[in-house]
Chains A and B, each alone.
Chain A
Amino acid sequence: MKKITPVGVRDYLPHEVKARQSIINKATAEFKSAGYEQVITPLFEYWSTIEAVCGNCLSEQAITFFNPKGELLVIRPDHTTAIARLAATRLREEKGPFQFYYSDAVYRLDPVNGETEHYQLGVENIGNPGVEEEAKLIQTCINTIKALGIQKFSIELNHTNELNQKSQAEQTALSKRDYTSLSTLPIRSPLSEINATHPLNELKTELTKLGITHNIYLNESIQTTTNDYDGMFFDCLIEGQGKPCGAGGRYDGLLEHFDIKQSAIGFALDYNVISEALK
């Protein structure tokens, strides 16, 4: 009999539960005040639902299993796909837009640690959000991080149109983070330096209207974490942390997998990175 947990999951003792709950409460209070309502989706789904949507990026990390009927199931590797399914099926006849938040764990196969739990706090805005909503999404992300007591952070923005304009060789080098093959390092510049022809210029205008200009950068080294981003996307970084504490963006194609032509935006924060930063 093994008397320990698998390496990728953990227990929370009472004081750890309190610490976690305090972070969750602060974050979800921000989500609620920005107009998001909580939804809960199941721990596991049919693999075919998730596979069709989340693409290659997550399929290698998916923890799948067969049920007694021989159907392949998956422990949820992300929240966005499940929420897209929910919006496109259960709420098909209802009038959007929908603003949902979630606060729950996802489970992925890590090459080193095996089956690993990541607790995520995130939001989804479904129903053709515009640039104004994109700016509000970033505002919610920033407000949440500030509410958690983190001061030194940055939002690192990129845009798929900007990426797609580059040559195939450049795109490959960027996605592999192989800057030896590029002649220069990818650009990173403050929001104020985004010029009028850049696809992020409208977002810059909206962010400026909201009074949010600090800690936001255009950063061409930021990579999409799923195939579905279509428009702006971003990583949220905390100074001194070696991993992003959050990521988000626009995914216009996602709901099309469920035969609905609507765009959506969202972001997810990683509890582990945030709690590490708050130590």
Chain B
Amino acid sequence: MSTTPLTIAVAKGYLWEESKKVFNSLGFEFDTDLDKSRQLYTTDKSGKYRILLVRPWDVPTYVEEGAADLGIVGKDVLIEVNATVTELSDLKFGACSLVLAGPEKIDPSKIPQNTRVATKFWNSTIQHFHKKGLNIHPIKLYGAIELAPFTGISDYICDLSVTGNTLKAHDLHIIDTIYTSTARLIANPATFSTKYDKISAFNTALKQAIS
């Protein structure tokens, strides 16, 4: 088969830090230190793997379009973007929850219709309330979501939380947990087949490295 490297798109930030540890334990050595360089991709010295460092939200796109064979990205992003990609395994790291939070700790079933909820996770939030038969008034924000109830833009927020400390610092209480998320190894469905042997070997090695 071909000698082209497996291209892996990795989400920048915390997941990249954790992925690096796993890659190191698998004996990868990279041409470029992506943390020190402005370069956004590097190749393993064995020539078998190429890493693309991209924004978390862009990982499913790179993989779906076939620009990357594999991707490492949070389940939260996968749920939100609904891309046609194959999920190979749960990498366990990068755990967080998508939570509904507000200024008072109330019973989530008491939330009325058309409540304003600020979130970056638009689809997940709307679907969560739809399952309960409720329409909400979603407010799309890209950051500093905790400010929303304080400024009166929204009644509640729906955001990722790891420790809950940022919420506490803004006097917000967790009302409901929508899902919990961890990092996933994903593949393009077509290259999963055409590079099956390489990808399944990499998947097995990765699973062993994290267990």
Contact = CB atoms under 8 A, between A and B. Distances in A.
Please say whether chains A and B are actual partners in one complex: yes
Interface of A: 111, 152, 154, 156, 177-180, 185, 188, 217, 219, 221-222, 235, 237, 239-244
B189 interface: yes
Given A152-B2, A221-B189, 19 more contacts: A154-B194, A156-B193, A177-B86, A177-B189, A178-B87, A179-B86, A179-B87, A185-B200, A219-B193, A219-B196, A221-B192, A222-B193, A240-B4, A241-B66, A242-B188, A242-B190, A243-B66, A243-B190, A244-B190
Contacts of B90: 180
Contacts of B87: 177-180
Decide if the interface of chain B is mainly helix, strand, loop or mixed: mixed
A204 B87 CA distance: 30
8 contacts: A178-B87, A179-B87, A180-B87, A217-B193, A222-B193, A239-B2, A240-B66, A243-B190
B40 interface: no
A112 to B, nearest CB: 10
Contact of A237 (B65, B86, B193, B200): B193
Interface string B55-94: 0000000001111000000000000001011111110000
A193 to B, nearest CB: 13
Contact of A179 (B64, B89, B190): B89
Q: Top 7 nearest A-B pairs by Cβ distance?
A: A242-B66, A177-B86, A188-B196, A180-B90, A242-B188, A178-B87, A239-B194
Contacts of B200: 185
B50 interface: no
Interface of B: 2, 4, 64-67, 82, 84-90, 184, 188-194, 196, 200, 203
A180 B185 CA distance: 9
A237 B84 CA distance: 16
A214 to B, nearest CB: 13
A180 B2 contact: no
B85 A177 contact: yes
Contact of B67 (A154, A185, A242): A242
A241 B64 CA distance: 11
Contacts of B192: 221
Contacts of A244: 190
B71 to A, nearest CB: 12
Nearest to B85: A177
B189 to A, nearest CB: 6
A63 B192 CA distance: 31
Contacts of A241: 66, 190
A180 B190 contact: no
Contacts of A222: 193
Q: Which of B67, B82, B196 has the most CB of A within 10 A?
A: B196
Contact of A188 (B88, B188, B193): B193
B66 A221 contact: no
Contact of A185 (B88, B188, B190): B88
A177 B88 CA distance: 8
A217 to B, nearest CB: 7
Contacts of B194: 154, 237, 239-240
B67 A180 contact: no
A116 B195 CA distance: 29
Given A179-B86, A242-B188, A154 B193 contact: yes
Nearest to B200: A185
Nearest to A111: B82
Contacts of A185: 88, 200, 203
Nearest to A222: B193
A179 B190 CA distance: 15
Given A242-B190, A243-B190, A221 B86 contact: yes
Nearest to B68: A242
A221 B193 contact: yes
B84 to A, nearest CB: 8
A222 B203 CA distance: 19
A180 B194 CA distance: 20
A180 B75 CA distance: 11
Nearest to B184: A180
